[in-house]
Amino acid sequence: MATLSVTYNHSIIHYTYNKSKSCYVCPNLVASLSVKKSLVFPSKKLHFYAAMVSRSVKEVLPPVLDSSSVPPAIFDGTPKLYISYTCPYAQRAWITRNCKGLQETIKLVPIDLKNRPTWYKEKVYPENKVPSLEHNNKVKGESLDLIRYIDQNFEGPSLFPDDPTKTKHGEELLSFTGSFSKAVTTSLKENRMDEVGAAFDDIESALSKFDDGPFFLGQLSLVDIAYVPFIERYQPFFSEVKNYDITKGRPKLALWIEEMNKIEAYKQTRRDPKEHVESYKRRFLMSSQ
């Protein structure tokens, strides 16, 4: 028996999936639930609702492959997303895959970056980085390209709006992700907390543009997916190491984090904040000691 409670707020569907014995919602059940809810939800949202429900199923994550592991069946026709569980860029592609409800379609292949299998560079992705996606006998990389590719070339709800104003703002925000991370990490290395604050102020003002939901473009989109792995890391690090609350005086950012943390497709990709703090300490603090 599984119970599913759903509430609809800020244009987002919140659901709680309660497992007792059986732990899998079959696609038919998902479909029938979505039909039942058709009277409640605006019809445009139905496909989104169905995908959200299927996304609530907790996935058993595959083991990490290292240099001693047998490679997967490469180019066997199954789309594969090569990731590292700890990489924020890979996390973008992973969240996109989950948000589209593609857990059964795109196989996750996690690899150990510290003990990388040689077949990965030789046979899959010569750049030897994650993420990469094997699809239709080709391998593509670069997280921002991949999230668009997954959104446009697989089934599931669209994660980018077609409203021209939102599209334009979305494009600008996607191209700003690199500058944002660079501003935060450069200012951090040079201990210029006022500049760190200015970078988060930019995020606060970007989140203030649309009022039809708490996300960058109102409703959840690729923009949220592109930023969230980095905010996930910055928030605990700045809090613990710099005693700096990135949400203080930034109510939009505080709400955005709260709402992102309710999304199952993202929750399944999150790491322990302590792990992020330790990793960032090694990366940003060791060299200055």
> Binding to ligand GSH by residue 217, rule CB under 6 A?
no
Q: With respect to ligand GSH, which residue has the nearer C-beta, 113 or 124?
A: 113
250 in contact with ligand GSH (CB under 6 A): no
**Total interface residues for ligand GSH by CB under 6 A:** 12
Cβ atoms of 37 and 75 within 8 Å: the answer is no
Tokens linked to 181: 């991370």
Identity of the residue, 85 or 256, whose beta carbon is nearer to ligand GSH in the bound complex: 85
Of positions 45, 97, 129, 276, contacts ligand GSH by CB under 6 A: 129
Give me the least distance between CB of 112 and ligand GSH, in Å please.
11
128 binds ligand GSH (CB under 6 A): yes
DSSP H/E element including 132: strand 132-135
From 3-11, 142-150, 179-187, 215-223, give the range in contact with ligand GSH by CB under 6 A: 142-150
CB of 197 to ligand GSH, least distance (A): 25
Least distance from C-beta 218 to ligand GSH, angstroms?
Answer: 25
Stretch that binds ligand GSH, among 36-44, 58-66, 125-133, 233-241 (CB under 6 A): 125-133
Distances from the Cα of 228 to the Cα of 96, 118, 192, 200, 224, angstroms: 12, 31, 23, 13, 6
β 2-9/12-19 pair status: antiparallel
Among 50, 51, 83, 113, contact with ligand GSH (rule: CB under 6 A): 113
Among 108, 130, 159, 203, binds ligand GSH (CB under 6 A): 130
* Shortest Å distance, C-beta 245 to ligand GSH: 26
CA distance 72 to 136: 16
3-state secondary structure of 141: strand
143 binds ligand GSH per the rule CB under 6 A: yes
Compute CA distances 262 → 15, 32, 207, 268, 270, whole Å. Answer: 9, 24, 18, 11, 12
Cβ 78 to ligand GSH, closest distance in Å? 21
46-53 long-range contacts (CB < 8 A, ≥24 apart) are: 47/156, 47/157, 48/13, 48/157, 49/6, 49/13, 50/101, 51/99, 51/100, 51/101, 51/156, 51/157, 52/13, 52/15, 52/101, 52/264, 52/265, 53/4, 53/6, 53/15, 53/17, 53/25
Output 52 or 228, the one with its CB closest to ligand GSH: 228
Site residues for ligand GSH, 69-108, by CB under 6 A, read 84, 87, 89
Does position 142 interact with ligand GSH (CB under 6 A)? The reply is yes
Quote the least distance from Cβ 97 to ligand GSH, whole Å: 14
- How far is it, in rounded angstroms, from Cα 265 to Cα 61? 13
By the rule CB under 6 A, 177 interacts with ligand GSH: no
Helices and strands, number each (H, E), in the chain: 11, 6
- Binding residues for ligand GSH, rule: CB under 6 A, are 84, 87, 89, 113, 128-131, 141-144
